[in-house]
Structure 1
């Protein structure tokens, strides 16, 4: 599992930091779900090719098309396997048991919100249970994110594991997340530079045979070389704090 700090400019995570909930919901519309058409129809050619549609048989379409067909009473929407009450109960148990995040679709909050809003009658008899489980899962995962940020503040590398975090989950903490990490790295960098300077002061007398360099002596040249090229051990420490 990879560790990430501040997202790289131009990366997907960096781009998502600037999106609103409505924009994330729009992006989630491209996720594939299955519909059960109420009547047969030939292939549809609109922002892609979908179908053919056979009455009573499941067909995979983007979420935006599934919602359109549902609203026009042309199809029902099949509950995604990960969204059943049984699956969500397993996810919630794993979230509470493990420090890492359970695997869910990147837009799971947006997808579940749209489906429960538009097609709750298609989601089975445990819709209310599904709503509770989704809310519990979101709360547990959010707690893990905040805990991860607190733990990162105690480590020199300041790395936070963000694998499997959903797009919508990042929104409530994105501003604080970015500002806190930037401040933490600034502080860590300052501490690192201070530590390198301290080591240079301590090691300089040893390099001169146990005596501190005197004004006008050869120590001035050594100190210049030391500042320009720290010993390998100190270089390694310096890189770690960058």
Structure 2
């Protein structure tokens, strides 16, 4: 598939989305949106019809999808869904209430198309993630996505961790929750210390998900704070 084919496939998919989300769409608006000619849009519409999409053409008005026709929902991987949940936590710290409302409603729609297993895990991660107020400082971490999955999939994880003194140790941990302050912090049960510990993500130099699962800790994040702090 060459670059032109890729662009056209992307445009066809986007046109299909436009048809699903709008009652009526004109060829002119589609041409302007995708920076192509109206003639190109005519060809795209014809290609979609030939692929079996029931498009209704209203002369002089535009295009619409046959009532009742639904495009299968976009399916997100668990990592992609986790990334969206993390973004939601950061957006909720925004000072713009209208932006928060729009993003929250969008996230709810996204959750609605997830399968039940992923949805349960995403909701668990949402409950186990807190973001503080200080969002200005740039923080580097290459482990966030791996640790999100470890939390939701109950994956025992081995990390290489460097403490404040620069000493490195290997730890086997049971990831529990993530907190965003000036740094991303992981709360995890440390099997070496036999207690819950905080680990700064920027001090984790390596993560390795192990084949062994751990038993889920039967408490919420708030219950953790009530019990240990």
TM bucket (normalised to shorter chain) is: under 0.3
TM-score normalized by the length of structure 2: 0.24
TM-score normalized by the length of structure 1: 0.23
Q: Which has the larger radius of gyration?
A: 1
Higher relative contact order (CA 8 A, sep 6+): 1
